[in-house]
Amino acid sequence: MSTTRRRVRLASAAVTVVTLLVAALAACSSGSGSSAKNISLRMTVWSNDKSQNALFNSIAASYRQSHPEISSITFDYIPIDNYTTALTTQIAGSNPPDLAWILERDAPDFVSSGALTDLTPTLKGTSGYGYDDLAASATKLWEQNGKLFAYPFSTSPFGMFFNKDLLAKAGVSQTPEQLLAAHQWTWPNAIKIAAQVAAKTAKQGLVIRDWNYKTWIQLASVWRAWGAQAWSADEAWGAQAWSADGKTCQFDSPQMQQAMSFLHSAIFTDKALPGPGETADFFAGESALTVTQISRASLLAKHPFNWGIVPLPSGPAGSSQVIGQAGIGVMTKGQHKQQAADFLAYFTNSANSAKLAQYFPPARKSQLTTTTLAKANPLFTAQQLQSVVIDGITTGSVLPSHQNSAKLSTLVQNALDPLWTPNANVDSVLKGVCQAIDPVLKQ
C-alpha cells in the first residue's frame, strides 16, 4: 500500500474517533445542571385539555414574574393510560420531573417509597398559605407520619351524567333527576333507563368511563353501592389501605358477588352497557348515561345536547359516593426540590386553588361552598354542585388504593377477564381473583 493511501486511511480513522469523542463530550456537557439563576421546572400531568393547560401556564407565568431565577416552567403531558409507567421510567432513568401529578391508586407506593419530598415545612412556612384550611380527609391519603408528601389538588367525585335528548328520544318517562327527587334513583332503575335507550335508539345505554373491561378500579363506583370492597378497608378515606387492614381480599364477599352479578346481567342480559370490545363516548353523544368524575364536565362545553348530572345511584347498601383523587408531589430525585416546592405552594395557594376549582374540586374547606364552586363552574347549577360535588366530597370514599397497586391492578384485570363472557360463573371468577391477589396483599 502506498504511503499516501496509508496516511489518508489513518487520517480518516482519526477524524472518526475525534468526532465521536467530541459528540460524546457535547452530549455530556449539554446534560449538566443549570445554574441557580436559570432554573427550569417541569411538572408531568395527564391532562391535555387546552383550557386547563392555559390556566396552568398563566399561573406559571405570573409566578415567574416574581421569581426571575425560574427561567421556565413546563407542563409535560403523558397520556393517563401509561402515566405511572412513564413517570416511573423517568425516575428510574435519572430524568425525574421536578413535580408530578400522582393518581390516588399509586399514592401508597409513592408516599412510602421516599420518591416524594416532605411538603409540610414549605407549605406551612409560606405566609398566607392557610395550611389548616386543607381538609384532613383530603390530605389523608398523601400523609405519612404526620408529613404531607403530595398536595391533593383534585378531589373529584364520580357522578352520573345523562343525555336528556337521548332519554327523550327513547321515551324514558322519568329522568334521573326526577327519580332522585322521588328517592328512587337506584342502580336497577339506572340500568332500566340505559337498557331502554340501547333498545330503542342506535346509541348505547350506560358507559362506565375509562373502564373498558380493563381498568376495573372504576367499577368501585358500582360495587360500593352494595357495600362491597376490593380488599379490607380499600378506601383510604377512613383508614390507610396499606395498614394491616388491607391484607384481606374482599372480591369473594357476598356483597361483591351480588354487585358483580348485577353488573354481569346488566351487560349480557339487559344489554344496558356496551359489551366487551364495543366503544361509545358519552361526550360525543354516543351513550345515554355515563359514570365519570365531575372534572370531565369541561368536555361538555362544546357538545350540543342537553345534559344533566346526578349523584351515583344507590344500591342495597344505600347511596355510596366515590371520589377520585390526584396529588402533586415534588420528586426527591429532582434537581431543584426547594424551588419546586415553592412553586407548588404558589400553584395551590388560596387564590390559585379557587381558579383551579373550575376543573379540580379543591381540598380547601373554605372553598367547598356552592358560592365559590358556582363561580368557577358555570356549567353546573347550584343544586348539582351541592348534591354531586359537595355532598360527594363530604360523604364519598376514595377509589381503592394499595401498595404494589400496579401489580394488583394487572392481577385483578387478568383474573376478572373470564367474567366478561355471557356464560361466566361469577362466583368462581371472583374466587379466582382472591386466589390471584392474596399473596400480593399479604406481602
Partner 1 sequence: MTVTPSQTRTPPRPAAAAARGGRRQYWTTRRRDVLSGWLFVLPQTLGFLAFVLYPLAAVVYYSFHTSNLLSGVTTYSGTKNYTQLAHDPAVPSVVRATALFCVGLVVFNIALALVLALLLNQKLRGTTVFRTLFFSPVVISLVAWTITWNFLLQNNGGINSLLRVIGVHGPNWLRGHDSALISVVIVQVFKNVGLNMVLFLAALQGVPRSLLEAADIDGAGPWRRFRSVILPLISPTTLLTTIVTISGSLQVFAQIQILTEGGPNNSTNVLVYFFYQQAFGNHDFGYGSAVAVVLFLIILVLTSIQWRLRKRWVFYES
Q: What is the DSSP letter of 389?
A: I
Enumerate residues 179-218 that contact partner 1 by CB under 8 A: 213-214
Least Å from the CB of residue 85 to partner 1: 5
Find the part of the chain contacting partner 1 (CB under 8 A) among 28-36, 133-141, 230-238, 274-282. Answer: 274-282
Task: Pick the binder of partner 1 from 337, 410, 424, 438 (CB under 8 A).
Answer: 410
Q: Give the count of alpha carbons within 13 A of 204, CB side only.
A: 22
Helix (H) or strand (E) holding 308: strand 307-310
Task: Pick the binder of partner 1 from 4, 17, 37, 183 (CB under 8 A).
Answer: 17
Torsion sign over Cα 348, 349, 352, 356:
positive
Q: Is 22 a residue that touches partner 1 (CB under 8 A)?
A: no
Q: Is 316 a residue that touches partner 1 (CB under 8 A)?
A: no
Q: Which amino acid is at 114?
A: G
Least Å from the CB of residue 18 to partner 1: 10
Q: Is 25 a residue that touches partner 1 (CB under 8 A)?
A: no
If the CB atoms of residues 93 and 318 are measured against partner 1, the closer one turns out to be 93
Site string for partner 1, 234-273 (x = CB under 8 A): ----------------------------------------
Nearest in space to 407 (alpha carbons), one of 437, 381, 427, 431 = 437
Q: Taking a C-beta distance cutoff of 8 angstroms, is the pair 151, 328 a contact? A: yes
Nearest in space to 82 (alpha carbons), one of 213, 214, 208 = 214
List the Cα angle 311/314/316 in 5-degree steps: 165
Q: Is 26 a residue that touches partner 1 (CB under 8 A)?
A: no
Q: Is 281 a residue that touches partner 1 (CB under 8 A)?
A: no
Site string for partner 1, 94-133 (x = CB under 8 A): ---------------xx--xxx------------------
Assigned C-alpha cell, 309 = 348530572
Task: Pick the binder of partner 1 from 41, 326, 415, 437 (CB under 8 A).
Answer: 415
Task: Pick the binder of partner 1 from 130, 227, 316, 418 (CB under 8 A).
Answer: 418
Q: Is 144 a residue that touches partner 1 (CB under 8 A)?
A: no
Three-state DSSP at 383 gives: helix
Assigned C-alpha cell, 385 = 354542585
Q: Is 219 a residue that touches partner 1 (CB under 8 A)?
A: no
If the CB atoms of residues 20 and 244 are measured against partner 1, the closer one turns out to be 20
Q: Is 417 a residue that touches partner 1 (CB under 8 A)?
A: yes
Distance CA 414, CA 187 (A): 26
Q: Is 370 a residue that touches partner 1 (CB under 8 A)?
A: no
Assigned C-alpha cell, 402 = 394499595
Torsion sign over Cα 371, 372, 373, 378:
positive
Least Å from the CB of residue 17 to partner 1: 6
Least Å from the CB of residue 426 to partner 1: 15
Distance CA 437, CA 418 (A): 16
Distance CA 113, CA 165 (A): 49
Q: Give the contacts of 299 (CB within 8 A, at least 6 positions apart).
A: 283
Find the part of the chain contacting partner 1 (CB under 8 A) among 30-38, 85-93, 184-192, 287-295. Answer: 85-93
Find the part of the chain contacting partner 1 (CB under 8 A) among 37-45, 89-97, 144-152, 309-317. Answer: 89-97
If the CB atoms of residues 186 and 435 are measured against partner 1, the closer one turns out to be 435
Q: Is 333 a residue that touches partner 1 (CB under 8 A)?
A: yes
Torsion sign over Cα 378, 384, 386, 389:
negative
- DSSP secondary structure letters along 204-233: EEEEETTTTTT-GGGGHHHHGGGT--SBTT
Least Å from the CB of residue 413 to partner 1: 7
Q: For the chain, give the number of residues.
A: 443
Tell me which residues touch partner 1 (CB under 8 A).
1, 6, 9-10, 13-14, 16-17, 20, 85, 88-89, 91-92, 109-110, 113-115, 213-214, 275-279, 333, 404, 406-407, 410, 413-415, 417-418, 420-421, 436
